[in-house]
């Protein structure tokens, strides 16, 4: 298959808001591809070889004249990237440069642009994964649930697609839970209130929602591996967790949970202190404590499809006192008591879980509902404005985007400069300048990859932004380096916060274009949460 065909379909998918149109275009391409894994990798914006070491500066320095006609094949591009990733040792820099120069010399202008964005991460469209899964199911004529389950267990979308297109349902069924290979984590959906989360629910367990970092631990005999929510391995930086899991009363286990640093009184330290361990190359003095809330495998028995009630029994058997506090078969009264205890302990709130539900990895649904007294959203930073006054010389006012669930670019839903400490302002300035795509006199546009947690009082209809909705009284809680842009909250999640009598396609008066800038002290309580 010609590489140009992949580039054309990528442009076609990016130009439409229709999920059906995206799925149709991708499925048609996959049916005619003999290089399925490479094609899928390119389209979701991550080379099959992973991070190959060709960064933003390297890609931007490539200036080969474009080819007049498309001649590169998908296998040519995939092979060149594989050679690039494999180069090491003395003289490797020159050999890598030559490989990229040769690749770009054979590419048309559109192909060169695609390659640059692929190499710099600008093509990375994690939000497109859901659309791609639907396209794989259509192209292979297999049930979508079979594709999603295989992807959950493999953690690799290209391999899942190749199996589906080559061997159908039988190929997908060969993906099994494998101790040592991480599984995509099950996710919780937000609930407006505890009563709302309990309404209409059957038997549930209500657990503390800890202000920590998601972990997944795998043990087989004495071998222990620890992964983050993005499936990145961090075993070498958390020896205390490895030692604890190695001492559990079992031979093999896969546990899902959270870890956090605690104060002497048992309350959690700031989230940033916990996350400092995850970016470290070596173990630090700050010790982490694990709290597990699910068991996916125990001593040779896979539990993914078992109801949560059975998984919790296995969890208690394996993890003992290291289980997240909670109450099973909770009544409204006991659930309220768990919420009070969680908040008194310095945690975020509670999670309400259906005791009859299986482990639906990688998906948000109503089986798990998180309840927090303060509304928060995880949004993507799209740009930032230079500050004024005391913040002059610092990047201050954030432009915030919600994820498009159908794989399009993030949709802007508001701005805020509230909640930023001096330390966070300094860090933010360095971090955002490092991913800047365009530096204007007033606004710096950045690659949409940093996720920030925003507290807000709700949302309201607004014609200012393309999604028709704006945040109210938004303020920064913290950055979320443990999350990717693909895990940010969707535009639908923002719209769900609208008052019931409003809709994003109606109501709301246009904002006065003469209103003061967000960093101007005259700016108070504006519709997009800048006040």
Encoded tokens for 416: 């805020």
Per-residue model confidence (pLDDT) at position 511? 32
Per-residue model confidence (pLDDT) at position 266? 86
Contacts 24+ apart (CB under 8 A), 79-87: 81/47, 81/48, 81/49, 81/52, 82/48, 82/49, 84/49, 84/52, 84/53, 84/54, 85/47, 85/49, 85/50, 85/52, 85/53
Of the candidates 190, 197, 509, 218, the one whose C-alpha atom is nearest the C-alpha of residue 352 is: 197
Residues β-bridged to residue 351: 207, 370
Per-residue model confidence (pLDDT) at position 61? 64
Per-residue model confidence (pLDDT) at position 497? 87
Encoded tokens for 482: 């443990």
Whole-angstrom CA distances from 365 to 114, 147, 149 are 34, 18, 15
CB 164 within 8 A of CB 172: yes
d(Cα 407, Cα 195) in Å, to the nearest integer? 33
- Please state the separation of Cα 242 from the chain's center in Å: 25
Give me the helices (H) in 174-266, please. 194-198, 239-246
pLDDT tens for the chain, 531 residues: list them: 999 999 999 999 988 888 999 999 999 999 989 899 999 999 988 888 776 655 555 656 667 789 999 999 999 999 999 888 887 788 887 888 888 889 989 999 999 999 988 887 777 655 588 899 999 999 999 999 999 999 989 888 999 999 999 999 999 999 999 999 999 999 998 888 999 999 989 999 999 999 889 999 999 999 999 999 888 999 998 999 999 999 999 999 999 999 998 988 888 888 878 877 776 555 566 789 999 999 999 999 999 999 999 999 999 999 999 999 999 999 999 999 999 999 999 998 999 999 999 998 767 778 999 998 888 999 999 999 999 888 999 999 999 999 998 888 899 999 999 999 999 999 999 999 999 999 988 999 999 999 999 999 889 898 889 889 999 899 999 999 889 898 899 999 999 888 764 555 433 333 332 233 333 333 332 233 322
Residues β-bridged to residue 259: 213, 290
Per-residue model confidence (pLDDT) at position 505? 47
252: Cα within 13 Å, side-chain hemisphere: 13
E strands present in 429-474: 436-439, 443-446, 451-455, 458-461, 469-472
Q: Work out the number of other CB atoms within 10 angstroms of the CB of residue 168.
A: 14
40-51 burial code (b ≥16 CB/10 A, e <16):
bbbbbbbbbbee
Per-residue model confidence (pLDDT) at position 297? 97
Of the candidates 109, 104, 39, the one whose C-alpha atom is nearest the C-alpha of residue 74 is: 39
Q: Is 27 left (phi over 0), alpha (psi -120 to 50) or beta?
A: alpha
Q: Work out the number of other CB atoms within 10 angstroms of the CB of residue 290.
A: 22
Backbone angles phi, psi at 11, to 5 degrees: -65, -40
Active site residues: 209
């Amino acid at each position: 298959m010609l590489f140009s065909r992949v580039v054309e379909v990528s442009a076609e998918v990016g130009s439409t808001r229709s999920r059906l149109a995206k799925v149709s275009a991708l499925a048609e391409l996959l049916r005619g591809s003999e290089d399925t894994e490479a094609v899928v990798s390119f389209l979701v914006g991550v080379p099959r070889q992973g991070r190959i070491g060709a960064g933003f500066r390297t890609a931007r320095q490539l200036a080969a004249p474009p080819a007049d006609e498309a001649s590169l094949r998908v296998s040519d591009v995939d092979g060149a990237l594989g050679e690039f990733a494999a180069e090491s040792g003395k003289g490797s820099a020159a050999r890598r440069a030559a490989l990229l120069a040769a690749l770009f010399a054979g590419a048309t202008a559109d192909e060169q642009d695609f390659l640059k964005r692929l190499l710099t991460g600008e093509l990375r469209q994690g939000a497109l994964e859901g659309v791609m899964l639907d396209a794989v199911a259509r192209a292979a004529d297999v049930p979508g649930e079979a594709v999603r389950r295989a992807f959950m267990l493999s953690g690799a979308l290209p391999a899942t697609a190749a199996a589906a297109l080559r061997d159908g349902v039988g190929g997908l069924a060969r993906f099994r839970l494998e101790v040592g290979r991480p599984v995509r984590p099950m996710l919780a959906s937000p609930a407006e209130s505890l009563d709302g989360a309990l309404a209409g629910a059957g038997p549930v367990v209500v657990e503390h929602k800890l202000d920590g970092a998601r972990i997944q631990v795998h043990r087989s005999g004495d071998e222990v591996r620890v992964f983050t929510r993005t499936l990145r391995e961090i075993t070498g930086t958390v020896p205390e967790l490895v030692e604890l899991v190695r001492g559990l009363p079992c031979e093999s286990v896969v546990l899902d949970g959270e870890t956090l640093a605690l104060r002497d009184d048992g309350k959690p330290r700031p989230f940033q202190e916990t996350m400092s361990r995850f970016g470290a190359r070596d173990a630090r003095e700050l010790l982490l404590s694990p709290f597990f809330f699910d068991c996916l495998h125990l001593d040779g028995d896979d539990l993914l499809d078992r109801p949560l009630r059975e998984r919790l029994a296995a969890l208690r058997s394996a993890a003992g006192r290291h289980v997240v506090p909670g109450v099973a078969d909770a009544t409204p009264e006991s659930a309220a008591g768990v919420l009070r205890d969680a908040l008194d302990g310095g945690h975020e709130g509670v999670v309400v879980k259906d005791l009859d539900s299986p482990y639906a990895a990688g998906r948000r649904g109503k089986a798990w509902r998180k309840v927090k007294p303060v509304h928060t959203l995880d949004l993507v930073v799209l740009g930032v404005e230079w500050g004024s006054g005391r913040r002059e010389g610092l990047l201050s006012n954030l432009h915030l985007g919600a994820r498009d669930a159908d794989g399009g670019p993030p949709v802007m839903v508001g701005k805020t400069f509230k909640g930023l400490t001096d330390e966070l302002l300094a860090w933010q300035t360095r971090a955002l300048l490092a991913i800047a795509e365009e530096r204007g006199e007033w606004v710096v546009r950045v690659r949409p990859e940093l996720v920030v947690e925003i507290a807000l009082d709700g949302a309201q209809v607004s014609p200012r932004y393309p999604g028709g909705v704006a945040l109210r009284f938004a303020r920064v809680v913290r950055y979320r380096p443990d999350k990717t842009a693909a895990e940010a909250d969707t535009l639908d999640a923002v719209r769900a916060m609208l008052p019931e009598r409003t809709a994003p396609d109606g109501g709301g008066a246009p904002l006065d274009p003469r209103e003061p800038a967000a960093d101007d002290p005259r700016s108070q309580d504006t519709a997009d949460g800048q006040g």
